[in-house]
Amino acid sequence: MEFAKQLQMIVQGSSLFNEPMANHTSWGIGGPVLAFVRPETRTDLTAILSLADANNIPVYIAGSGSNLLVADEGFNGVVISLAKTLKQIRFDGTKCYAEAGVMLGHLVKECIHRNLTGLESLGGIPGTLGGALVMNAGAYGNEISNYLITIDVVHRDGTIEKYKKKQIEFGYRRSSIKSDDIVIAPEFQLKHDDPESISLKRVDASIKRRSSQPLRFRSAGSVFKNPKPDLSAGFLIDKAGLKGMRHGDAEISEKHGNFFLNRGNAKAEDIIYLIQKVKKVIKNKFDLDLELEIKTLGFEKDY
Ligand code: EPU
């Protein structure tokens, strides 16, 4: 039987076939994928993985698509999104157990309700907990891994394993979590604090973010990693005079040089043009190699 039909038969959640990823990325960019699937449960997830494996169909695990550039030609595989499923959150005193599909901002609100401090400066980061952990998302001197105690992952063969934090290496926007493993549930150790002080930290991060980042427009957050801890890619792009540069409907933000905006109908090709241009100029001017912070899907080469 054709793969799409088999998939349709086993998925308990929702599945969309030949679905443009433009509908599922914060950039609003990206061509069609063979299937875009939202599993309903862990069992559903493992069944989809086995089916794809048995049919030799590549699988990509997406969070909420807030840090992802998909090629205009799309991707000949299955995209599994955990953003609308795996949404449980449970608290036990100062411990917090949450599933990978929970949006980071939502988790922060739930923590604040319970006077739990730790994650509040990360509240404005768009994206799911799973994605945030795999790349160790951070903001304002804080990284999500700082509060982690354990992670449950699903291996591609469907088995589930719990890792202690010390078994995983976390660095700047990276972790040693294998690309084949799917984070399904982390557990955090937070601390009690008084509500005013937690709210103040959250408001402070939110004001800084709003004043420095172009949040009203479609983007994917920072396009490049910072080349050194105290050297912002946005600062370099600014100094190189590249802000405001446009290709098609893609534009390097005037407000923050590391944010590339979709000002209408930008294509992946337009974003790639700007990425290549910026990399070249920064190399020539500062002898630095910028690396992508965003994830890419469906391209024949790495950028
Ligand atoms: N700057 C400029 N011009 C610009 C952009 C920045 O001069 O166009 C200067 C700023 O004035 C500031 C310095 O560069 O002095 C650093 O800028 P910012 O505070 O905006 O931080 P960043 O290093 O550019 C990082 C993260 C952001 C995170 C902020 C706040 C990376 C790649 N980016 O940006 O994360 O929100 O710090 O902590 O590490 C993301 O990952 O998507 C993201 C937005």
Tens of pLDDT, residue by residue over 95-130, are: 999 999 999 999 999 999 999 999 999 988 999 999
Q: Is the CB of 39 under 6 A from ligand 1?
A: no
Query: CA 138, CA 132: separation in Å to the nearest integer?
Result: 8
Collapse the DSSP code of 197 into the 3-class scheme (helix H, G, I; strand E, B; otherwise coil) and give the result. helix
Percent of the chain with pLDDT over 70: 100
> Over the stretch 73-98, which tens digit does the pLDDT of each residue have?
999 999 999 988 899 999 999 999 99
Give the Å distance between the CA of 301 and the centre of ligand 1. 27
Q: pLDDT grade, residue 179 (50/70/90)?
A: confident
Q: Is the CB of 219 under 6 A from ligand 1?
A: no
The structure tokens listed for 56 are: 């030799």
- Does residue 42 carry a pLDDT above 90? no
Identify the pLDDT of residue 159: 86
With the most atoms of ligand 1 within 8 angstroms of its CB, the residue from 128, 144, 258 to mutate is 258
Report pTM: 0.96
> Over the stretch 62-73, which tens digit does the pLDDT of each residue have?
999 999 999 999
282, 225 Cβ separation under 8 angstroms: no
Contacts of 130 (CB under 8 A, 6+ apart): 61, 63, 82, 86, 100, 101, 182, 183, 184
Collapse the DSSP code of 232 into the 3-class scheme (helix H, G, I; strand E, B; otherwise coil) and give the result. coil
Output the average pLDDT for the chain: 95
The structure tokens listed for 27 are: 């950039």
Q: pLDDT grade, residue 41 (50/70/90)?
A: confident
Active-site residue, from 15, 66, 145, 222:
222
Query: CA 151, CA 130: separation in Å to the nearest integer?
Result: 10
Q: What's at 190, amino acid-wise?
A: L
- Does residue 9 carry a pLDDT above 90? yes
The structure tokens listed for 73 are: 């030609």
* b/e burial code for range 4-35 (CB count within 10 A of at least 16 → b): eeebeeebebebeeebbbbebbbbbbbbbbbb
The structure tokens listed for 102 are: 């929970």
Q: What length is written for the chain?
A: 303
> Over the stretch 128-147, which tens digit does the pLDDT of each residue have?
999 999 999 999 999 999 99
Identify the pLDDT of residue 85: 86
- Does residue 176 carry a pLDDT above 90? yes
> Over the stretch 11-28, which tens digit does the pLDDT of each residue have?
999 999 999 999 999 999
Identify the pLDDT of residue 61: 94
Q: Is the CB of 257 under 6 A from ligand 1?
A: yes
Active-site residue, from 156, 173, 209, 218:
173
Beta bridge partners of 110: none
Give the Å distance between the CA of 272 and the centre of ligand 1. 21
Tokens 């794809």: give the residue.
Answer: 52
> Over the stretch 270-299, which tens digit does the pLDDT of each residue have?
999 999 999 999 999 999 999 999 999 999
> Over the stretch 189-228, which tens digit does the pLDDT of each residue have?
999 999 899 989 989 999 999 999 999 999 999 999 999 9
Q: Is the CB of 226 under 6 A from ligand 1?
A: yes
| Arithmetic mean of pLDDT, 255-276 | 98
Q: Is the CB of 143 under 6 A from ligand 1?
A: no
- Does residue 157 carry a pLDDT above 90? no
For ligand 1, atom 17, which residue shows the shortest CA distance? 232
Q: Is the CB of 258 under 6 A from ligand 1?
A: yes
